[in-house]
Amino acid sequence: MTNAIEVENLTKYYGNLLAVDHVDFQVEQGEVFGFLGPNGAGKTTTQRMLTTLLEPTEGRIRMLGHDLAQDPVPVKRKMGLVPEESNVYTELTAWENLMFTARLYLVEPGERRQRARDLLETFGLWGKRDVKVEDFSKGMRRRLSIAMAIIHRPTLLFLDEPTPGLDAQSTRTIRDLIRELNAEGTTIFLTTHQIEEANQLCDRVAIINHGRIAVIDTPEQLKAAFRKVQSVEVALEPDGQAHGESLKALPGVTHSVKMGDKWRLYTERPSGLLPEVMDYARAHDLEVVSLSTLGPSLEDVFLEITGQEIGAVRHETGESEDRKPGARGRRGGRR
C-alpha cells in the first residue's frame, strides 16, 4: 500500500522552545490515522505543518507523492482541512460559504451547485441554506465547516478535534460521515483528544508526547500491550459509596476510582478479584447491583504513555468523576 503522508525528521522550534522533536511517521492511503496527545504535546503544530500553515524548522513532508516544500498547490487541491475552530464566514449564508469554497478550490460550475446541495442535505442544513451562519448553533457551524472542507472531494482530509462540545446527534453524524468518507477511499488524519473517538474510528493511532511520537499502532494492539490496567467495576447497595476504602483494600487491587455510583478496582487479575468482591458484599449484607470486568481502554494506554492524570482526560471525554485525592493517573476509561 502506498503512503498518503510520509514525514521524516519533522521538527519545529518556536524560538528556543522545541514543539515537535524530529518526528517520523507514515500514513497509508485509505486509512484513518489518529493523532493523540495531551495539551501542548505538538499535535496541532504537527497538523499545521502538514497542512502548509506552518513552516517546519527541519524535516521533510511528502504528501500524495509530492514534496510539500517544493510545490504545495497540487497537494492542497487534494487536501481538505477542518480546523478545531469552525472557521466559517458568519456574515454569509451556508450556501454562500459553500459556493465560496467551491470556487476557491476550482470546482466546476456545473458540479459545485449539485455538490453543495448534496452536502447541505447530508448534513441536515438544506432548509437553512439561505440563513446567515451567525444564526447557526455550534453543531450546525461544525457541520458546515466539514461540508466546506470536502466540497472538492479531497483524497486526504485533516480533522482537528471534530466533535468536542457537540450534541450527541451532531457527534454521531460527523463520526458516521468520517466512516463514509473513509469507505469511499478518503484518507483521514484525525487529531483528537477524544480517545474513545480514536478507538472507534482509527485504523492506527499515534500518541505524541512532549513533541515526540511515543507509539504508533492499531488501537487493539496498543490495548493488548497494556493488560496490567484491567479492572473490575462494581455497584453496591445500599450506600455503596461508603465502601471505597474497604474495596481498595481487597487482595489484588492496585488502586480504585469512583465512577459515578460505581467503583472501579484496578487489578492485574480480574478473575481472582471477582469472588473477593462477592464475598465482601455478602459479608456486609450488600446487594451487587452490577459487576463487570473491563480490559484496558485506549485511554488507559494514553494515560500510561503520557503520564497524564485521569481527571484531565476524563474532563475532555465529557465524562465526570470524583477522583480520589492522590489517585495517580493511568486509570480506566469506559469502553
Partner 1 sequence: MKQGIVSRLMDEVTQAWTVAVKDIKVYYLKPGMIMFGFMMPFFMFFSFSVRREMAAAQGVARLLALTTFFTAASTGPFIIPLERRLGTYDRLLAAPMSLLSLLLGKIAVGAFFAIAVSIVALAVGVGVFGATVVSPGFLIAGVILGSFSFSTLGLIFGSIPTRNPGDVQMPSTLLRWGLLFISGVFVPLAEMGAMARALAYVSPLTYAQDLMNHAVLDRGLLNPWVDLMVLLLGCGVFLVPSLLMHRRSRRLGY
Binding-site ranges for partner 1 (CB under 8 A): 14, 45, 48, 51-55, 73-74, 76-77, 79, 81, 83, 85, 87-89, 91-92, 96, 100-101, 103-106, 148
Task: Give the separation between CA 5 and CA 63, rounded to whole angstroms.
Answer: 5
- Looking at the Cβ atoms of 48 and 62, the one nearer to partner 1 is 48
- Looking at the Cβ atoms of 51 and 182, the one nearer to partner 1 is 51
What is the closest distance, in whole angstroms, from the C-beta atom of residue 133 to partner 1 in the complex? 11
What is the closest distance, in whole angstroms, from the C-beta atom of residue 74 to partner 1 in the complex? 8
- Mind giving me the DSSP string for 220-277? HHHHHTTGGG-EEEEEEETTGGGGHHHHHTSTTEEEEEEETTEEEEEES-HHHHHHHH
What is the closest distance, in whole angstroms, from the C-beta atom of residue 81 to partner 1 in the complex? 5
CB 158 within 8 A of CB 81: yes
Task: Give the separation between CA 197 and CA 170, rounded to whole angstroms.
Answer: 14
Residue in this structure with the C-alpha cell 457541520, named with its chain if needed: 143
- Looking at the Cβ atoms of 107 and 273, the one nearer to partner 1 is 107
- Looking at the Cβ atoms of 103 and 284, the one nearer to partner 1 is 103
- 263: β partners: 234, 258
- Looking at the Cβ atoms of 162 and 332, the one nearer to partner 1 is 162
- Looking at the Cβ atoms of 105 and 302, the one nearer to partner 1 is 105
What is the closest distance, in whole angstroms, from the C-beta atom of residue 29 to partner 1 in the complex? 19
**Ranges assigned E (strand) in 29-114:** 32-36, 58-63, 66-67, 79-82
- Looking at the Cβ atoms of 104 and 289, the one nearer to partner 1 is 104
CB 27 within 8 A of CB 64: no
What is the closest distance, in whole angstroms, from the C-beta atom of residue 158 to partner 1 in the complex? 9
What is the closest distance, in whole angstroms, from the C-beta atom of residue 88 to partner 1 in the complex? 8
3-state class (DSSP) for residue 39: coil
Q: How far is CA 67 from the centre of its chain?
A: 27
Per the structure block, which three cell numbers stand in for 245? 476504602
What is the closest distance, in whole angstroms, from the C-beta atom of residue 288 to partner 1 in the complex? 51
Strand order in the sheet with 287-294: 253-259, 262-267, 231-237, 287-294
Per the structure block, which three cell numbers stand in for 226? 497494556
